[in-house]
Structures are given as C-alpha cells and as structure tokens.
Amino acid sequence: MQSSDRLDLTFAALADPTRRAILARLSGGAASVGELAEPFDISLPAVTKHLKVLQRAGLISQGREAQWRPCRLEARPMREAVEWMESYRRHWEQRFDRLDEYLRETTKTSRRPPRKKK
Amino acid sequence: MQSSDRLDLTFAALADPTRRAILARLSGGAASVGELAEPFDISLPAVTKHLKVLQRAGLISQGREAQWRPCRLEARPMREAVEWMESYRRHWEQRFDRLDEYLRETTKTSRRPPRKKK
C-alpha cells in the first residue's frame, strides 16, 4: 500500500470518537472484543465494525488464540500520521511565530499595501 | 463545538490526499483558490469542495479581500490533533519498548545452551 493510502485509512479511522476511545483503551494493554465493547452503549456488531475499520488501517491487530482473541495496538500507522502532521506543523508554527512578530512590529505603522494585480 | 467533534472533523479532513496536499502547499504561505487548484487535475468546483471541508474543520480560513481571497492555514486544530495522537503514542511506544526489552531478555535466557556431546 502507498504511504498516501495508508494515511487516508489512518486519518479516516481516527475520525470517530468510538474508534478513538477504543485506541485509548488499547494503549493501556490488549483487550478482547467484549472488554472493548463494555463501556459503549452500542451493539457488539457495531463495535466489531469499528474494529474492522481500525484493523484495515493497521492501527490494531487481533490475535489468533481460539478462546480469547485479544486486540492490540500497532504503533506504525500512528507514527507515520504524527510524522506527516509534525513535518508541516513545525513549518507553519514557525511561520505563525514570524507573522506574530511581523504584526507586532507593523501594527502601529501602516497596513500592508494591497497586492498588485498581475 | 466539543473537542471530540473538532477532532472528528480534523481527522476526516486529513483523510484525503488532495486536502493534505492543499495543506502542505498552504504551509508555505497563503494562496488563492486558483493557485491551490493549479497542481491538481481536478475541476475548480472539486477543489472548492475540498476547501470547504478544510474550512469546516477550521484547518484553513479564507480572507475577505474582494479581489484576492487568500486561503490561510489555521494551526489550532492541527495542534489539537497532534496532541491527541502524541498523548497516546508516548504511552504505547513506551509499552512497545518495554515489550522489546522483555522479548530480548526472554529470548536470551530461554535459549538453551547447545547440548554437550557425550
């Protein structure tokens, strides 16, 4: 899978409060589907559906143990997503810092001249 | 808006390669809709639709200048999303480090010494 497709799946998987809560719960350790479903007021099939989305994104994996198939977090997709965000965040936060500085400097003088038409 | 709803919108907005490319472009500075559309092989209305998603998520804002309505990045939603991810990532990467350590230790000790030839 392309890194861009992986990011699509990761971010789409994170765009849901139940799925984020499941990931938060799993960050404390592996858990069965039943344990994961417990705090939510939704059906087990609904939880299973959310788990499938997380699994497709590679954010969790499920064990093959017959009785207790524990779900576990997988760190890699999250790491890639944070790296994508961080690379730009650093860039634009620097820009905002510079902009702040610029605005402080120029507030008392004059407004920016309008952009020239090409 | 609740912080959870904001995260939903931010992550959903990030789950698209065109929208991520638009944000990457804007991290270099403000740009008009036309300038943002240029590198993409999609219609202007399609780009406008993507911009609306980014705007609804608060990731960009659009100026009110009559002639040139530049789009700009807004750092706050991105910062919140990174903070959410980082808080759990730190937690589980520590877990993975401990697991790595545990596995290294146990493979070392459980490895049987070669049998002595009699």
Look at B89 and A82 and tell me if their CB atoms are within 8 Å.
yes
Selected for mutation to probe chain A from B85, B90, B93, B98 (highest A CB count within 10 Å) is B85
Q: Which range has the worst mean pLDDT, A27-31, A109-113, B6-10?
A: A109-113
Residue B51 tokens, joined = 């911009």
One-letter amino acid at B10 equals T
Q: How far is CA A59 from the centre of its chain?
A: 10
Residues of A in contact with B95 (CB under 8 A): 27, 29, 73
Q: Is B73 helix (H, G, I), strand (E, B) or coil?
A: strand
Residue B24 contacts A, CB cutoff 8 Å: yes
Query: pLDDT, tens digit, for every residue of B31-63?
Result: 999 999 999 888 889 999 999 999 999 999 998
On the CB side of B48, CA atoms within 13 Å amount to: 5
Comparing alpha-carbon positions, the chain A residue that sits nearest to B68 is A115
- B100 and B33 in contact (C-beta within 8 Å)? no
Q: Could you tell me which residue, B12 or B101, shows the higher pLDDT?
A: B12
Q: What is the pTM of this model?
A: 0.78
Helix, strand, coil shares of chain A as percentages rounded to 5? 60, 5, 35
Query: pLDDT, tens digit, for every residue of A14-51?
Result: 999 999 999 999 988 899 999 999 998 888 899 999 99
Residue B118 has pLDDT above 90, yes or no: no
Place A108 in a pLDDT band, splitting at 50, 70 and 90: low
Query: pLDDT, tens digit, for every residue of B59-104?
Result: 999 988 767 789 999 888 988 898 888 887 766 666 666 666 766 7
Instruction: Report pLDDT for A64.
Output: 81
Place B116 in a pLDDT band, splitting at 50, 70 and 90: low
One-letter amino acid at B87 equals S
3-class SS letters over A17-73: HHHHHHHHHHCCCCECHHHHHCCCCCCHHHHHHHHHHHHHCCCEEECCCCCCCCEEE
Instruction: Report pLDDT for B21.
Output: 94
Instruction: Report pLDDT for A101.
Output: 72
Region class of B89: left (phi > 0), else alpha (psi between -120 and 50), else beta: alpha
ipTM above 0.85, yes or no: no
Comparing alpha-carbon positions, the chain B residue that sits nearest to A92 is B27
Of B8, B24, B29, the CB nearest to A88: B24
